[in-house]
Amino acid sequence: MSETTLEAVKPDDIIIVLDTETTGLDHKCEKLIEIAAVKMRGTEVIETFTSLVNPQKPIRYSSFLIHNISEEMVQDAPNIEDVLPSFLEFVGDYPFVAHNAIFDYSFINEAMKATYGKRFQNNRIDTFEMYRSVFPDEASHGLNALLRRFGFDEDVVHRALDDAMCLAKVYPRLRSLYEQKFNWQLSQLKNVPYLLERYIRVQKASQCLQAEMSDLKDIFKLYFQNGGGSVEASTGEVMVFNYRRSYSYDEKKIWEIATRAGVCEKIFKLNPRALDKLIDKADLEESIKEEFRECRLSMHEARNINFLKPQVVTIEPAEDSEESSS
């Protein structure tokens, strides 16, 4: 499984737009309760699939408040082992489209591993990332905001088929803009030297604005520290002041307690960058490094742009020689 590039998927190819609902947010311990998929060719929906799923565990109340799927609604639904065969037959090996696709993929993947002992292999296209790329200035990049952006009045109801159908409506238009942006970027490659000059100007202006904002925030902090109250701007924003506490912990003791309580995954997160450095540079036994390497699931290559500052060469004045001083 991997994210796919749109160049590999032609506009008239068949794709699957899918959505899921779950008992909670953590794919490691929560389960699917609804799964839906929409088969599309171009802008046309040609077939749909949907099914409730009995998760065989309670539905968190916080999740119920989102999707309104009760335990009574799924008690007679088929188990995931009975739903997966027909779902997999429907999606085939077509790439799938989802909003925040890693969420849906993670739950389907866990179900695949538990049922078949293998991973969900279909490539994914994430409309959340596409939306954020095309409209980076939006306050929200959720599905509701995406629908509003393209003039649709439907609300996300957090039922799998309804939300998949909503995404199917906007995906072709979002894809078109995403491709236009990419093609425009390609057309600018010949202008990179000039664009670099523009970038440096924008960077300097941005740094200056950031410094100004930092100075203003310092004044605002002093205002509140001296007893000032909340202030409302003419545009409606309200400036308030609050405190955020943070603590330091004895990591060794915390690890022992978390292991005993079975909550390690909730409070400790793997740092892949630190692990990569450990594998590549640390003075570890090669056998340990190899064990770490075997834990890798996939590789993502990030491309970073760095700007090297010009070196300033200082020429020291030559000391007067004896001849010149005499």
Does 274 lie in the same domain as 145? Answer: no
What is the per-residue pLDDT for 326?
42
Structural domain contains residue 222: yes
Residue 299 forms part of a structural domain: no
In a domain, 290, yes or no: yes
Measured in degrees and rounded to the nearest 5, phi and psi for residue 17 equal -100, 120
Instruction: Evaluate whether residue 166 is within a structural domain.
Output: yes
Tell which residue, 42, 134, 48, has the closest CA to residue 87.
48
Q: Which class for 127: exposed (0-12), middle (13-18), buried (19 or more C-beta within 10 A)?
A: buried
For residues 143 and 25, state if they share a domain.
yes
User: What's the chain's average pLDDT?
Assistant: 90
Q: How many domains does the chain have?
A: 3
Task: Examine the domain organization and report whether 49 and 147 are in the same domain.
Answer: yes
Last residue of a domain, one of 186, 203, 227: 186
Residues 85 and 168 grouped into a single domain: yes
Kindly state whether residue 312 falls inside one of the protein's structural domains: no
Catalytic residue among 99, 141, 158, 300: 158
pLDDT tens string 115-165: 999 999 999 999 999 999 999 999 999 999 999 999 998 888 999 999 999
One domain, residues 201 and 121: no
- Summarize the confidence of residues 191-198 as an average pLDDT: 96
Domain identity same for 159 and 39: yes
Dihedral angle over CA of 151, 156, 162, 165, nearest 10: 40
Q: Got the DSSP string for 62-124? A: HHHHHH---HHHHTTSPBHHHHHHHHHHHHTT--EEETTHHHHHHHHHHHHHHHHSS-----E
User: What CATH number did the domain enclosing 122 receive?
Assistant: 3.30.420.10
Q: Give a yes or no: residue 310 inside a domain.
A: no
Nearest to 108 by CA among 161, 208, 118: 118
Domain identity same for 138 and 227? no
Residue 325 lies in a domain: no
Do both 62 and 82 map to the same domain? yes
Q: Is residue 308 part of a domain?
A: no
Domain shared by 180 and 76, yes or no: yes
Contact 75, 58 (CB under 8 A): no
Domain containing 289: what range?
A: 251-294
| Residue 67 designated active-site | no
Residues 122 and 158 in one domain: yes
Query: Does the pTM of the predicted model rise above 0.85?
Result: no
> 167 and 138, same structural domain?
yes
Could you report the per-residue pLDDT of 92-106, keeping only the tens digit for each?
A: 999 999 999 999 999
Q: How confident is the model at residue 246 (pLDDT cuts 50, 70, 90)?
A: confident
Q: Is there a single domain that holds both residue 66 and residue 119?
A: yes
- The pLDDT tens digits for 201-243 are 999 999 999 999 999 999 999 999 999 999 999 999 999 998 8
